[in-house]
Structure 1
Amino acid sequence: MLLLNQKLWIEAAKLRFPVGAGGKGKMKVVKKKILPEYFQVVRAREKNFEIRVDEDNIQVGDLLILEEWNGFYTGNSVRRYVKYVLRDSPALGLVPGYCIVSW
């Protein structure tokens, strides 16, 4: 059932964001771990961004799946469509090699 729901989310994302990767390709799905204290506020929609190591080339339109991690996967996850990515902004205090992803 979970796998079926995940496939439906991905298909819906393709319809909502038919062109991802900054308009240069298709939307991709990026899965990331998230600690419970942050997971709860993301799920409650009180937090709408993550500061992450820029290792996945996340782009506007990508589907970000945040999976709750408490030393093990809890089975809880949230799905968010990326709306903005900030990179290369040391003047704003963003360390090189990191990005801010918002949804």
Structure 2
Amino acid sequence: MQYFQAVYDGTKTFEVRKNDRSYAVGDVLVLKEWDVEYTGSGIVKTVTYMLDNPIYVKDGYVIMGLGEVVE
């Protein structure tokens, strides 16, 4: 919940995830807030940057820069 709120209010502009979906720059993420169950809050972000270098990120994980969705 605290991590979702930080993305929602703009103080967290990145996401760390297991790269089990082959994330790529340009992907659109639909992030939903969960507190045992879905709270009804959500936000849409675009992946603007990817860091998957094992020197900096645990193998199999990625850090994604998040930006606003551009139409």
Greater than 3 Å deviation, 4+ residue runs: none
| Structure with the higher fraction of residues in helix conformation | 1
Distance in 2 of aligned mates of 1:65 and 1:49: 14
Q: How many residues align?
A: 66
- CA positional deviation for 1:67: 0.4
Which position in structure 2 is the counterpart of 1:91? 55
1:53 to 15, 18, 29: 18
What 5-or-longer segments of structure 2 have no aligned partner?
67-71
Q: Which has the higher contact order (CA 8 A, sep 6+)?
A: 2
Q: Which runs of 5+ in 1 are unaligned?
A: 1-35
Higher strand share: 2
RMSD, matched Cα: 0.9
- TM-score scaled by length of structure 1: 0.61
**Alpha-carbon separation, structure 1, partners of 2:29 and 2:16:** 13
With normalisation by structure 2, the TM-score equals 0.86
Q: Distance in 2 between matches of 1:61 and 1:46?
A: 21
